[in-house]
Structure 1
Amino acid sequence: MIVSLILISAVPLSILTSLELSITRNPGIIQYRSHGWLRECAKWDSIHQRFLVSTMFDAGIAAIDIGKVQMEEKVMLRETDMAGNASLGITIDEDRRQIIVVFADVVGHKHSAVAAYDLDTWERNYITHLRGVEEGKEEEGVTMADDVAIDSNGNAYVTDTISNEIWKLDSKGNLLTKIRNQAFKQTNGLFSNLIGLNGIVYHPDGYLLVIHTIGGDLFKVDVTTEDVKVVEIIDGSSLKMGDGLVLLSPNQLVVVAATSVKLLESLDGWKTSKVTKIHRSGPMHRVATSGTVRDGKVYISYIVGGGFPRTHVITEAVF
């Protein structure tokens, strides 16, 4: 995230102006006014027909109601117990009518947590401190929880992009295990684990698909045996800088990166895969970070806002 913001600051104003003007010509754009400059993740809440967005440094969630002439985010949650942390990855658990939210200390890397909230009342169902200071005891090691997926039983799986492990919690928020594997730790350079395990999705056949951002590896992780395999990309395409993941169908996976959105297909249960389509259009300077599915279409959210007043965009990825 920090690297992306530095790069943006170096882009000439004239280019940024041109890119901003191009946004309004995108027929699949959703543009909304915001209370902050950074918005990490957006997911479609089909129950209430709205987008829910993690608002980052105020540790909150906002709603974007579709259909209004002037769309503006409405703050639904500010988690006071997570003051000093950012709200990052989110996922919608429709079966239990709740949203799962990841919190992390993105500056000091000293704390990570995950919480669940009722989608109707916004009452907190649970909050679990994954690593950090709790009850006067400080755990050693840096941490930054990033994204979350949920299986059919309500178990949550949270990636840690620094320690390169996956926490597994039950439907009540009780920590069950940490999935660790040497394959998660890249060895191809000093900064190869600067941004590690990131986007994660649960496949209905009982495994996870997880992306390593710097290394570009896509992992298949069995949630029962904790066996880890690297998915072979048979067409030679690179998935480096992959961030958010979206499971479009059992055989189709969308990988969101800052400069492009790739559609992968697999015909052998994700032993191998290949990139079949690439979506390159969109406001590149806003930095794509996550995706979601709305009415069978893929929508991409961006971390950086712009303009006065501050605006954010969600765009349709047309493959």
Structure 2
Amino acid sequence: MCGGCRRRQCGPDGTPDGGRRGCGTVIAVLALAAAAAVAFLESAAGGISYAGDGWLHECAKWDAEGGRFLASTFFGGGVAEVRAGEGEAEERVVVADPVAAGRVALGLAVDAPRRRLLLVYADRPPRLGYAALGAYDLGSWRRLFLTRLDVPGESTFPDDVAADEEGNAYVTDAKGSKIWKVGPDGALLGVIKNATFVQRPGLRHNLVGLNGIVYHPNGYLLVVHTSGGDFFKVDPKTETVRVVKVRGSLRRGDGLELLSPTRLVVAGLPNRSTGSGRRLR
């Protein structure tokens, strides 16, 4: 979910509806990087309105065990929880890591088997250098690790994160179109780079590169390229990359969410032909 406003809606069954109310105008890079409407359900109707201090949230996920939504606060640089109840819900900040102060919080993932939250940190645009992945205990919010991903002199913009069955985390770089791999204990294990990630040269097709990412239970990653609209299947073990042909356009695609092993939702900035979300089989 991305919100450009103070009040937002989330679906009653644990998935944001991606609606935007009263959103402000944002520069192109910021808008594209922050336009992730994360999870749509076929049956989602109505929603939960809630008020918060931040005017823009990048990502939201449902924490089933905790019975709450967890949303990254872009300018707050942390995470807020929203609990459904009678009347209007309120968000409460649960993660405000002083080590990441001054950064923006972007993609997040609930790693339920290990009862932890993974959170991506980046420099506040227009700076594009800092990249980090934090992990926090879902009960106490104790920091488990905060791993730097960037290297000196490198221009990066980490965006989204997914976790596999073994607890490895995969973070997309929307600037450099690569994927960092971080082990369960926070060790940086490597970087997946492949020329296939750039299908067309030029800034117009690569202003925002690899963005939304999910781990499929069959053992591979699915990744969307925002500016190019390309969709990739990545084997994290062999690091092979294959282009997935999609009927229709995924241009401006941002957040990804698996509804089932055979159904996927791609959310992002709306356009006339697709609206703000597309459902794939």
Normalising by structure 2, we get a TM-score of 0.81
Q: Which runs of 4+ in 1 moved over 4 A?
A: 1-4
Q: Which residue of 1 aligns with 2:26?
A: 5
Separation in 2 of the partners of 1:124 and 1:227? 33
Separation in 2 of the partners of 1:243 and 1:29? 21
Q: Which residue of 2 aligns with 1:151?
A: 164
Q: Which residue of 2 aligns with 1:83?
A: 101
Is contact 1:221-1:227 (8 Å) kept? Answer: yes
Matched residue type, 1:194: L
Question: How do 1:74-223 residues align onto structure 2 when only pairs under 5 Å count?
Answer: 74-107=92-125, 108-132=127-151, 139-223=152-236
Q: Which residue of 1 aligns with 2:263?
A: 252
Matched residue type, 1:155: N
Per-residue deviation, 1:6: 5.0
What's the secondary structure of 1:103's corresponding residue?
strand
Per-residue deviation, 1:5: 2.2
Going from structure 1 to structure 2, the CA distance change for 1:186 and 1:4 (only over 3 Å counts) comes to farther
What's the secondary structure of 1:183's corresponding residue?
helix
Matched residue type, 1:263: R
Separation in 1 of the partners of 2:86 and 2:105? 26
Separation in 2 of the partners of 1:159 and 1:6? 21
Separation in 1 of the partners of 2:266 and 2:60? 15
Is contact 2:54-2:76 (8 Å) kept? Answer: no
Per-residue deviation, 1:69: 1.1
- The counterpart of 1:47, out of the listed 49, 53, 65, is 65
Per-residue deviation, 1:157: 0.2
Q: Which residue of 2 aligns with 1:238?
A: 249
Question: How do 1:21-40 residues align onto structure 2 when only pairs under 5 Å count?
Answer: 27-40=45-58
Q: Which residue of 1 aligns with 2:88?
A: 70
What's the secondary structure of 2:62's corresponding residue?
strand
- For residues 89-123 of structure 1, what are the alpha-carbon distances to aligned partners after superposition, in whole Å with 9 as ceiling and x for unaligned? 00001101100000001310110000100000000
Q: Which residue of 1 aligns with 2:17?
A: none
Which runs of 5 or more residues in structure 1 are unaligned?
8-25, 133-138, 266-319
Per-residue deviation, 1:27: 4.7
Separation in 2 of the partners of 1:45 and 1:27? 19
**Percent identity between the aligned chains?**
48
Matched residue type, 1:154: G
Which runs of 5 or more residues in structure 2 are unaligned?
5-23, 29-43, 271-275
Q: Which residue of 2 aligns with 1:225?
A: 238
Is contact 2:265-2:277 (8 Å) kept? Answer: yes
Separation in 2 of the partners of 1:178 and 1:27? 40
Separation in 1 of the partners of 2:90 and 2:56? 15
Aligned length: 239
Is contact 1:186-1:193 (8 Å) kept? Answer: no
What's the secondary structure of 2:58's corresponding residue?
coil
RMSD: 1.8
Is contact 1:106-1:144 (8 Å) kept? Answer: no
Larger RCO, structure (CA 8 Å, separation 6 or more):
1
What's the secondary structure of 1:73's corresponding residue?
strand
- For residues 248-282 of structure 1, what are the alpha-carbon distances to aligned partners after superposition, in whole Å with 9 as ceiling and x for unaligned? 111111100221211101xxxxxxxxxxxxxxxxx
